[in-house]
């Protein structure tokens, strides 16, 4: 199926590896010009080389710490200078620290707020005015299953991700008349460094090896396995497509059936 986004410019944030990198690959496969960013230059160089080798084009990278407003401004300016516009914004971020109410400091909360919610607001504020002028745009936020079903020991994600959903719904109402859609993809447990690190972190607390924790996670999921990052990226790419033009203000769970609720 032709998704109708060939030649569109996509900026994917926090994308040097994991789900963000997979989204960049999937959009490149559809003929988008992609820009990736993160704090890690080596990973960015290696990921842009991978993408170029697999899909051609000229993937662009920018060093960016999502907790720094100046870096966010520089990223948007650099991508617009490189490609002339941004049509698709994928707001991804690093996962917030794990911990329960006794563990988390004010500083943890502040950093997580800046990374998870404020970075999405800042990128959207800088990019949407041009999407309005061109009367087309896609904003897709990568959130988490925690927006529907809190996960033990992930208080920051459980709290702040819902803010992204509320923000996206409100924003979607404001910009729908300009052919700009705003949606969220909520991954379930996905095989990336993030899930591996969480399993290692939880192994002491739960008295189990990280391998056992990953097996236990899979047992919770009706599909009996974790997602691949590509399966999350496919949903993001569909939401970016021409065919998804009437879907806005929505959250799609890509979780193998893990969320137990009806909606
Ligand atoms: P990952 O750790 O594999 O990759 C995270 C990416 O974010 C990397 O490119 C890293 O360099 C970048 N990053 C981290 N902090 C940054 C910062 N301050 N500034 C700029 N870039 C930064 O993680 P992932 O599994 O791909 O997860 C992506 C998002 O999806 C995270 O927010 C995560 O919490 C969420 N999520 C993941 C899972 C899962 O099971 N993997 C499940 C639900 C939600």
201: exposed, middle or buried (Cβ count in 10 Å: 0-12, 13-18, 19+)? middle
Residue 46 has pLDDT above 90, yes or no: yes
| Residue minimizing CA distance to atom 13 of ligand 1 | 94
With both helix axes pointing from N to C terminus, report the angle between 69-83 and 119-134 in degrees, rounded to the nearest 10. Answer: 30
Residue 126 has pLDDT above 90, yes or no: yes
Structural domain includes residue 243? yes
Pocket test for ligand 1, best of 38, 156, 185 (most atoms within 8 A of CB): 38
pLDDT band, very low/low/confident/very high, at 204 (cuts 50, 70, 90): confident
Assess contact for 65 and 114: CB atoms under 8 A.
no
Structural domain includes residue 198? no
Structural domain includes residue 209? no
- Kindly report whether the global pTM for this prediction surpasses the value 0.85: yes
Q: What's the total number of domains in the chain?
A: 1
Structural domain includes residue 72? yes
Residue 15 has pLDDT above 90, yes or no: yes
Looking from the CA of residue 67, the nearest atom of ligand 1 is: 18
Return the CATH number at 126.
3.40.50.720
Cα-Cα end-to-end distance for the chain: 28
High-pLDDT (> 70) share of the chain, %: 100
Structural domain includes residue 200? no
Q: Which domain holds residue 29?
A: 9-189+228-254
Structural domain includes residue 14? yes
Weakest mean pLDDT among 122-126, 154-158, 202-206, 228-232: 202-206
Structural domain includes residue 123? yes
| Residue minimizing CA distance to atom 31 of ligand 1 | 95
CA angle (146, 76, 43) in 5-degree steps: 65
- pLDDT tens column, 98-112: 999 999 999 999 999
- pLDDT tens column, 69-83: 999 999 999 999 999
Give the binding-site residues of ligand 1, using a 6 Å CB cut-off: 14-20, 38-40, 64-67, 92-95, 115, 142, 144-145, 187, 189-190, 192-195
| Residue minimizing CA distance to atom 14 of ligand 1 | 94
Structural domain includes residue 220? no
């Amino acid at each position: 199926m032709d998704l109708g986004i060939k030649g569109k410019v996509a900026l994917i944030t926090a994308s040097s590896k994991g789900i963000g990198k997979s989204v960049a690959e999937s959009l490149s496969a559809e003929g988008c010009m992609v820009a990736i960013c993160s704090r890690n230059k080596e990973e960015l160089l290696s990921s842009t080389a991978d993408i170029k080798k697999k899909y051609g084009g000229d993937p662009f990278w920018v060093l960016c710490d999502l907790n720094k407003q100046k870096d966010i401004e520089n990223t948007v300016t650099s991508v617009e200078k490189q490609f002339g516009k941004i049509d698709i914004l994928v707001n991804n971020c690093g996962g917030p620290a794990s911990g329960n109410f006794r563990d988390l400091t004010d500083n943890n909360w502040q950093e997580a707020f800046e990374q998870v919610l404020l970075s999405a607001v800042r990128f959207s504020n800088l990019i949407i005015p041009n999407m309005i002028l061109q009367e087309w745009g896609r904003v897709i936020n990568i959130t988490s299953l925690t927006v529907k079903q809190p996960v033990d020991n992930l208080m920051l994600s459980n709290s702040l991700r819902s803010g992204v959903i509320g923000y996206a719904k409100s924003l979607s109402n404001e910009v729908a008349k300009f052919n700009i859609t705003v949606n969220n993809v909520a991954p379930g447990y996905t095989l990336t460094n993030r899930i591996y690190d969480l399993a290692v972190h939880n192994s002491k607390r739960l008295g189990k090896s990280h391998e056992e924790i990953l097996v236990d996670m899979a047992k919770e999921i009706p599909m009996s396995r974790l997602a691949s990052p590509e399966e999350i990226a496919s949903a993001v790419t569909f939401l970016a497509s021409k065919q998804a033009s009437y879907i806005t203000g929505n959250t799609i769970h890509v979780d193998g059936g893990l969320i137990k609720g009806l909606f």
